[in-house]
Amino acid sequence: MKNHAISTKRTLTEYFAWDRTTRIFHWLNVLCVLALITLGLAIINAKAFGVTPEGKILLKTIHTYFGYVFVANLVWRIIWGFYGNHYAQWKSVLPFTTGYLTSLRSYLAGIHSDHPDYYIGHNPVARIMVTILFVLLSFQAVTGLVLAGTDLYLPPFGHEIKEQVTGAGEDHSKLAGVKPGSSENIDQAGYEKMRAFREPFVTIHEINFFVLIGTIFIDLLGVIFTEIREGNAIVSAMITGKKLFKSSPKDIKKP
């Protein structure tokens, strides 16, 4: 088992925390989210930046392709939560397990003492943040996929959206001439119905976008605080998979 102590140096003991799949997910997610935030801000402020309608469609298209990678990565992480190592599994990530509240109270009390509770996986506060992040990321993924269909007629819903805005029904010959941003071959009644359907997804996607940015910022502050307070290599652990501890962690998996 890889969750036992590996070596000891200068009173610090090294434990294996994050498996390779979890580490790959983390950094791929970081890259995708940074790209999506940058492109999202450019799209929201396209008019102020003087972006042409064609340029805005291009930005949305690139944004969507990054979104596909982001969604695939997120789905894989959700699945991996049932098959990964002990610390990557949902029972060690979500704050709903037996004894969680007791662990949370103990951890919060330890913050103000010289003997904090150490965790190889996510500590009780981090579990809350991770859960919030997964919910926000999931909302962004689902609403983004809907908008990809309504804005650009891209999968997974683009074909059905095209049928609606053209009034084509089963006559798919009309679909080929439909292009993003163009009113050609569009049935006005069908288009307005699509726009009404789309509106709440736009609102949720945009609000969730800014909430997600704020939550990521808070999470980063938490990581910095924990790194300084506990000195357990929480950042480098997402590269090496290993954390360092001054005393025995609370969540050592027993053989």
HEC profile of the chain: CCCCEEEEECCEEEEECCCHHHHHHHHHHHHHHHHHHHHHHHHHCCCCCCCCHHHHHHHHHHHHHHHHHHHHHHHHHHHHCCCCCHHHCHHHHCCCCCCHHHHHHHHHHHHCCCCCCCCCCCCHHHHHHHHHHHHHHHHHHHHHHHHHHHHHCCCCCHHHHHHHHHCCCCCHHHCCCCCCCCCCCCCHHHHHHHHHHHHHHHHHHHHHHHHHHHHHHHHHHHHHHHHHHHCCCCCCHHHHCEEEECCCCCCCCCC
Residue 140 has pLDDT above 80, yes or no: yes
CATH-assigned architecture of domain 18-81+125-231 = Up-down Bundle (1.20)
Q: What is the pLDDT of residues 72-122, one digit of tens each?
A: 999 999 999 999 999 999 999 999 999 999 999 999 998 887 788 999 999
Q: What is the pLDDT of residues 5-47, one digit of tens each?
A: 544 445 889 999 999 999 999 999 999 999 999 999 999 999 9
The predicted model gives 125-141 an average pLDDT of 97
Average pLDDT, the chain: 90
Residue 163 has pLDDT above 50, yes or no: yes
**What ranges do the domains of the chain cover?**
18-81+125-231
Residue 217 has pLDDT above 90, yes or no: yes
Residue 253 has pLDDT above 80, yes or no: no
**Which of 129-133, 174-178, 189-193, 228-232 bottoms out in mean pLDDT, i.e. has the lowest?**
174-178
Residue 1 has pLDDT above 60, yes or no: no
